[in-house]
Amino acid sequence: MKYIVVTGGVMSGLGKGITMASIGRILKNRGYKIVPIKIDPYINIDAGTMNPYQHGEVYVLGDGAEVDLDLGHYERFMDVELGREHNITTGIVYSAVIERERKGEYLGQTVQIIPHVTNEIKGRIRSVAAKSGADICLVEIGGTVGDIESMPFLESVRQMQGEENGNDFLFVHVTLVPFTTLKEQKTKPTQHSVKALRELGLQPDIIVCRGKETLKEDVKTKIAMFCNVKKEAVVSAPDTEDIYEVPLLLEKEGIFSYISEKMQLEQPKEDNEWLRMVERRKSCSDKEFFIAIVGKYAELEDSYLSIKEAIKHAATELGCRVETKWIEAEDLEACEKDVGSFFQDVRGILVPGGFGVRGAEGKIKAIEYVRENKIPFLGLCFGFQLAVIEAARNVAKLKDANSSELCETPHPVIDLLEEQKEVVEKGGTMRLGDYEVFIRGDTLAKKAYGKKKIVERHRHRYEVNPAYIERIEREGAVFSGTDRSGTRMEILELSQEKHPFFLATQFHPEFKSRPNKPSPPFKAFLEACLQVQKFC
């Protein structure tokens, strides 16, 4: 097994995840089987309880793990299916070590960071790598070099490097090269970052330098000299308009040539599918339009990162360019006049997932507007539940219909199923990960997917109340997708006689969208938007 470890310095948010995902894509293009691992130094067991304002969206894997959004980048770039073992946090590691200690597995030893915690970390990395059958394991260590919480993980990979063959281990360090007002690229932050890394016993093999513009040659030379790497190992990674260009940019900088030389890799083949996809994206400029996303975290677009990417994937497939207008649900909630002023320049409206009462009524206003004005609509998870509430209130005339998650209501059209209530009282959690969905024939959903059985990822607890299904469908709505038992509603749509495109899913189709394999609901939604003859 060969290992590539990606670390970061100077500041967070530089793009370690995109860098590692891009290296993985480059290696996959060359025919190598790769397996990624994300290490998050926070003490949380997983990202499930984190506020999206702090960490961006919570990404859900097929086995139900709630993880950092970087694993979404890995899945999209590398086109792999990951599980909970691919995300290691401080909370997971310390919980395992404490449990072992309580069971007496350390035979009375004083349990310490070294060797017990570091052995746990190394064991987890090697276990995932071995089970995957991959050629190369990529490991991203979150946070910034110098952070106290990252120390055990950096020490673990330092030990691993000494335990592996020299050509089987490689360090990539991502740093910032700021651009001053005097148009000068400053190397000092990179020098200090690498110095901090070397003080921990780690010498980077490759330094990826982030900045607004391409590194000048003399700046590369200076970084190489002060950071003890070859000049060809200093890789310029300037800002790009499209993150999917990054693998091509790094390839052009010679990163694969350096990796293959250092790790003694052959170059068995070269797949240009990714290049063709990027070229298609660049050519999508003639047909451009806006869609609106009505969310409660619209100030931080990373809260809906997978949705943004799924829109890109579908737009590329359809040869169009889509711009997103972000609308705060609370602004709609506070609007006492016609909400149409928020949507004057859009061709479609998307209501994403979310939890809690804040902004819910604003989203319902948006859903009512799209239904009445026959604007293409896509609802996701909570957006699906709110679409059910809107239909119950305004179509089925069930006054004050709502979700029991949000308030006391005489008509809990969204509620816990009877078998769930006991489980939740005992501490049960949400419905997470992959579940089968069965689709009715002759429906929008069937047309979008082209098949009757699909598997999509979920992240919710509340369901459509079976007691209200017949009443809602009697008024023209259609629950076109259910689980195998037929008791859990998965897809809501309006017949095309009533609306050109109105589709909402209890699941999150955005999590399975890929650059070359767009999500069917997103593609169908944008197709409907393209058919709108004029702006709403």
- The catalytic site residues sit at 381, 508, 510
CA triplet 407, 408, 409: central angle to 5 degrees?
A: 105
Which residue in 528, 447, 514, 516 sits closest to 480, CA to CA?
447
| Integer angstrom CA distances of residue 260 from 28, 127, 253, 274, 436 | 13, 24, 14, 20, 42
Cα(244)–Cα(76) distance, rounded to whole angstroms? 10
DSSP 58: P
For residue 518 the two structure tokens come to 């767009």
List of residues 6+ apart from 536 with CB closer than 8 A? 340, 343, 344, 345, 346, 347, 373, 375
3-state class percentages of the chain: helix first, strand second, coil last, to nearest 5: 45, 20, 35
**Strand-by-strand arrangement of the 477-482 sheet:** 321-328, 288-295, 348-351, 377-380, 502-505, 489-494, 477-482, 431-439, 453-460
Residue 97 contacts residue 76 (beta carbons within 8 Å): no
Which residue in 308, 237, 234, 231 sits closest to 16, CA to CA?
237
Cα(428)–Cα(424) distance, rounded to whole angstroms? 4
For residue 195 the two structure tokens come to 């110095």
Residue 449 contacts residue 422 (beta carbons within 8 Å): no
Q: Is 481 helix (H, G, I), strand (E, B) or coil?
A: strand
Residue 59 contacts residue 40 (beta carbons within 8 Å): no
For residue 416 the two structure tokens come to 């816990």
Print the SS3 string covering 352-406: CCCCCCCCHHHHHHHHHHHHHHCCCEEEECHHHHHHHHHHHHHCCCCCCEEECCC
Which residue in 63, 64, 85, 86 sits closest to 73, CA to CA?
86
For residue 342 the two structure tokens come to 């928020």
